[in-house]
Structure 1
Amino acid sequence: MTDAPALPSGLTTRPLTAADSRAVFELMAACEQHDVGSVEIEEADILSDWQRPSHDVTTSSVAVLDGDRMAGYAELVGPTRFDAAVLPSYRGRGIGTWLAAWARDLGRARGERELGMAVPEGSDGDRLLAALGYRVRWTSWVLRLGPGEQVAERPLPPGYRLRTATEDDHEQVYTVLEDAFLEWSDRPRASIGDVAAGVWGRPGFEPWHLQVVTTGGGDGGDGGGGTGERVVGVAVAWNTGEGGEVDTYVDRLAVAGDHRNRGLAQALLVAAFAAGRERGAVTSSLATDSRTGALSLYEKVGMKPMSTWLNRAVTLD
Structure 2
Amino acid sequence: MELPEGLSTRPLTRDDASAVYEVMAAQEAADLDEVMIEEADIVSDWSRASFDVEGSTIGVFDGDRLVAYGEVGTAGRCDAAVDPAYRGRGIGTAVAHWMQDNARSRGIAEIGMPVPQGSPGDRLLEALGYRVRWESWGLALPDGTMVPVRDVPEGYVVREADPSEYEQVWAVQEDAFLEWSDRDRETFEDWHASVTGRPGFEPWHLRVVVDPAGAVVAMAWVQFGMETAFISRLATKKEERGRGLAQALLVDSFAAGRARGARKSELSTDSRTGALSLYEKVGMVVTSTWVNRGLVL
TM-score, normalization: structure 1?
0.92
The residue correspondences of 1:52-71 to structure 2 (distance < 5 A) are: 52-71=48-67
2 CA distance for matches of 1:39 and 1:196? 26
2 CA distance for matches of 1:12 and 1:238? 35
Report what 2:216 is aligned to.
231
TM-aligned CA deviation for residue 167 of structure 1: 1.1
The residue correspondences of 1:189-228 to structure 2 (distance < 5 A) are: 189-217=185-213
Query: What is the aligned counterpart of 2:271 among 290, 296, 310?
Result: 290
Q: Percent identity?
A: 58
Unaligned ranges ≥5, structure 1 = 218-228
TM-aligned CA deviation for residue 148 of structure 1: 2.1
- Which residue identity does 1:264 align to in structure 2? L
- Matched residue SS, 2:73: strand
TM-aligned CA deviation for residue 298 of structure 1: 0.5
TM-aligned CA deviation for residue 62 of structure 1: 0.4
Report what 1:300 is aligned to.
281
1 CA distance for matches of 2:218 and 2:204? 15
- Matched residue SS, 2:242: coil
- Which residue identity does 1:131 align to in structure 2? A
Report what 2:109 is aligned to.
113
2 CA distance for matches of 1:305 and 1:110? 37
- On the 8 A contact 1:29/1:41 being kept in 2, the answer is yes
Report what 1:220 is aligned to.
none
Query: What is the aligned counterpart of 2:130 among 98, 113, 134?
Result: 134
- Matched residue SS, 1:92: coil
Query: What is the aligned counterpart of 2:246 among 248, 261, 265?
Result: 265
2 CA distance for matches of 1:235 and 1:12? 42
Runs of 4+ in 1 over 3 A off after TM superposition: none
The residue correspondences of 1:72-221 to structure 2 (distance < 5 A) are: 72-217=68-213
1 CA distance for matches of 2:169 and 2:17? 28
TM-aligned CA deviation for residue 249 of structure 1: 0.3
TM-aligned CA deviation for residue 294 of structure 1: 0.6
Report what 2:233 is aligned to.
252
Report what 1:19 is aligned to.
15
2 CA distance for matches of 1:79 and 1:181? 14
- On the 8 A contact 1:199/1:210 being kept in 2, the answer is no
Post-superposition Cα deviations, 1:155-204, rounded to whole Å, max 9, x if no partner, equal 11112111111111011011001000000000011100111123233221
- Which residue identity does 1:301 align to in structure 2? V
What is the aligned residue count?
297
2 CA distance for matches of 1:12 and 1:286? 37
- Matched residue SS, 2:23: helix
TM-aligned CA deviation for residue 139 of structure 1: 0.3
Post-superposition Cα deviations, 1:256-299, rounded to whole Å, max 9, x if no partner, equal 00100000000001000001111111111000000001111111
- Two-structure CA RMSD over aligned residues (Å): 0.9
Post-superposition Cα deviations, 1:29-87, rounded to whole Å, max 9, x if no partner, equal 11111111111111111011001010110111000000111110000123121101001
2 CA distance for matches of 1:49 and 1:93? 29
TM-score, normalization: structure 2?
0.98
Report what 1:222 is aligned to.
none
- Which residue identity does 2:52 align to in structure 1? D
1 CA distance for matches of 2:48 and 2:14? 12
1 CA distance for matches of 2:146 and 2:229? 12
Unaligned ranges ≥5, structure 2 = none
